[in-house]
Amino acid sequence: MNNDTLSRLSKTTIRLHWVIAFLMIMLLASGIYMASTETFALYSWHKSFGILVFGIAVIRIAWRIKQGWPKHVGDYSLIERALSKATHWILILGTVAMPISGIVMNAMGGYGVEAFGVELFPTNTGPEGPFDFVAINEPVADFAHAVHSLAGDVLVIAVALHILGALKHHLLDRDATIRRMLGSSTQG
Residues in contact with ligand HEM by CB under 6 A are 13, 17, 20-21, 24-25, 27-28, 31-32, 35, 43, 46-47, 50-51, 53, 64, 70, 72-73, 88, 91-92, 95, 98-99, 102-103, 106, 113, 148-149, 152, 159, 162-163, 166, 177-178, 180-181
- The CB-of-156 to ligand HEM minimum distance in angstroms stands at 7
45 closest CA partner among 23, 21, 60, 22 = 23
Q: Are 148 and 102 in contact (CB under 8 A)?
A: yes
- The CB-of-34 to ligand HEM minimum distance in angstroms stands at 6
3-state DSSP assignment of residue 49 = helix
3-state DSSP assignment of residue 120 = strand
Burial 59-83 (b: 16+ CB within 10 A, else e): ebeeeeeeeeebeebeebeeebeee
Q: Which is nearer to ligand HEM, 1 or 127 (CB)?
A: 1
- The CB-of-126 to ligand HEM minimum distance in angstroms stands at 19
- The CB-of-122 to ligand HEM minimum distance in angstroms stands at 13
Q: Which is nearer to ligand HEM, 66 or 127 (CB)?
A: 66
* Distance between first and last Cα of the chain: 20
